[in-house]
């Protein structure tokens, strides 16, 4: 018989889980906002626009024809081919079907990559203002996130000199997310090229997360570090369907990885989810192969909302930075010592107040009704 240890249930959680567990300012703020009808949640990249109807129809057809089983752990071959084709078309990266792994959202890709690449104490360079799941996934894999400072004066774009200065013998990976969440920073082509050179010279692997690639509102188009010729096969491309096609709830994303890493990733990916949901894979294929004007329509809606926000914040002295999502700075507010981003979102989520809803323009309603989706609620 086991002797009772007297430990509380809470004390039985692993040190790793407790150290990385929920809580913190973000969670406290979200809890405060929960249920309030006069607040609009702007920080979460969950589009309130619905998934375009042709994607939903494809999923229904797939269910009717039996897409209710496991698939190959890497995903259905036709979807993987469509993803490889997209990588070749958009970024001129010679990806083949065997290098593509379809995941349960880009989120799972991120977790699998760090589990597959990091040993305890390995360092990963990433922007100080980053999508928090990156640093969590690094730590969960035993790695050490090393934060590259970003500055408002530079639109929160990471500076290659800072990156180089932080490289140590333990540095294994550089994470390049562009457009970045939460700052909306879009890394210019010459900076991307410099980062590529540094990664090559210091023999670093690179993660290119381009999940917000379709949502750049001003300035030159987005460039992916995956397209840097100097990097050859040292890049892992992470992307997904959540943002581009308003498919957050379908949980489907992907990565394109060097062939040598497919084997090491198999056991991790398979242990996590076996495969991405079969029905969501069918929906993702329809998204890639179907008409793309729904993406343009959504971008127009977000651009218009961004403009409304800008015109509201500027008189308050909250300047806009970032070219993708909207980030504002509290610069000019008496009680802040340094500029800080307050939030960012290319797409805001589920407005609840009627006065807010009323501000949505007639043009937005018309676009949504006639093209990509049903009218906003
Ligand atoms: C930069 C970045 N990468 C990946 C993800 C995860 O996306 P998914 O819904 O495909 O898991 C997010 C989600 O917000 C994100 O901001």
Report pLDDT digits (tens) over 118-147.
999 999 999 999 999 999 999 999 999 999
99 lines ligand 1 (CB under 6 A): no
Residues 337 and 348 placed together within one structural domain of the fold: yes
Compute how many other C-beta atoms are within 10 angstroms of the C-beta atom of residue 63. Answer: 13
For residue 265, being part of any structural domain is answered with yes
The response to whether residue 277 sits with its C-beta less than 6 Å from ligand 1 reads no
From atom 13 of ligand 1, which residue's Cα is the shortest distance away? 45
Angle, CA of 140, 207 and 325, to the nearest 5°? 95
Selected residue with higher pLDDT from 216 and 347 = 216
Structural contact between residues 245 and 287, judged by C-beta atoms closer than 8 angstroms: yes
Same domain, 153 and 79: yes
Q: Is the pLDDT of residue 18 over 70?
A: yes
104 CA → ligand 1 middle, Å: 11
Q: Cα of 200 to ligand 1 centre, how many Å?
A: 26
The answer to whether residue 19 scores a pLDDT higher than 60 is yes
Protein residue whose Cα sits closest to atom 14 of ligand 1: 45
Q: In the numeric block, which tokens belong to residue 152?
A: 């408002």
Pairing of β 341-344 and β 327-329: antiparallel
Same domain, 277 and 159: yes
pTM as predicted: 0.86
Whether the per-residue pLDDT at 240 is higher than 60: the answer is: yes
Q: How far apart are CA 219 and CA 270, in angstroms?
A: 41
| Domain identity same for 186 and 278 | yes
Q: Measure CA of the first residue to CA of the last residue in the chain; give whole Å.
A: 59
CA of 212 relative to ligand 1 center, distance in Å: 9
Task: Give 1's pLDDT tier (boundaries 50, 70, 90).
Answer: low
Mean pLDDT of 297-311: 88
45 Cβ closer than 6 Å to some ligand 1 atom: yes
Residue 349 Cα to ligand 1 middle (Å): 15
Residue 195 lies in a domain: yes
Q: How far apart are CA 165 and CA 163, in angstroms?
A: 5
In the reported structure, the alpha carbon of residue 239 is separated from the centroid of ligand 1 by a whole-number distance in angstroms of 8
In a domain, 3, yes or no: no
Identify the CA nearest to 39 among candidates 253, 374, 339, 348: 348
- The domain total for the chain is 2
- Ligand 1 atom at minimal distance to the Cα of residue 109: 11
Cβ 242 under 6 angstroms from ligand 1: yes
Together in a domain, 297 and 341: yes
Residues 163 and 124 in one domain: yes
Computed over every residue of the chain, the mean pLDDT equals 84
The answer as to whether 173 is a domain residue is: yes
Which structural domain range is residue 80 located in?
A: 53-289
137 burial level (CB within 10 Å; 0-12, 13-18, 19+):
buried
């Amino acid at each position: 018989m086991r002797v009772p240890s007297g430990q509380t249930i809470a004390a039985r959680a692993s040190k790793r889980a407790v150290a990385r567990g929920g809580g913190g300012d973000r969670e406290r703020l979200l809890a405060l906002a929960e249920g309030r009808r006069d607040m609009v949640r702007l920080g979460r990249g969950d589009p309130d626009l619905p998934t375009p109807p042709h994607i939903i129809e494809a999923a229904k057809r797939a269910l009717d024809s039996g897409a209710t089983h496991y698939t190959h752990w890497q995903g259905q071959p036709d979807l993987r081919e469509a993803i490889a084709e997209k990588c070749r078309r958009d970024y001129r990266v010679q990806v083949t079907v065997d290098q593509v792994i379809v995941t349960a959202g880009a989120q799972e890709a991120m977790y699998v990559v760090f589990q597959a690449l990091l040993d305890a104490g390995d360092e990963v360079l990433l922007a100080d203002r980053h999508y928090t799941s990156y640093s969590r996934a690094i730590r969960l894999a035993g790695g050490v996130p090393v934060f590259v400072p970003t500055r408002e004066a530079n639109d929160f774009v990471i500076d290659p000199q800072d990156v180089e200065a932080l490289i140590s013998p333990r540095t294994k990976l550089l994470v390049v997310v562009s457009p970045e969440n939460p700052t909306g920073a879009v890394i210019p082509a010459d900076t991307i090229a410099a980062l590529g050179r540094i990664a090559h010279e210091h023999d670093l692997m690179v993660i290119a997360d381009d999940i917000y690639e379709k949502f750049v509102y001003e300035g030159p188009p987005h460039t992916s570090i995956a397209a840097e010729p100097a990097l050859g096969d040292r890049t892992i491309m992470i992307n997904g369907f959540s943002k581009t096609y308003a498919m957050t709830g379908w949980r489907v994303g992907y990565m394109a990885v060097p062939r040598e890493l497919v084997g090491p990733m198999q056991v991790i990916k398979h242990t996590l989810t076996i495969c991405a949901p079969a029905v969501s894979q069918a929906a993702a294929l329809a998204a890639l192969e179907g008409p793309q004007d729904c993406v343009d329509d959504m971008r127009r809606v977000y651009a218009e909302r961004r403009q409304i926000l800008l015109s509201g914040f500027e008189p308050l002295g909250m300047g806009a930075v970032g070219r993708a999502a909207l980030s504002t700075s509290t610069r000019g507010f008496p009680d802040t010592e340094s500029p800080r981003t307050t939030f960012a979102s290319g797409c805001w989520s589920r407005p609840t107040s009627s006065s807010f809803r009323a501000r949505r323009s007639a043009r937005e309603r018309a676009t949504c009704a006639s093209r990509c989706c049903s009218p906003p609620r």
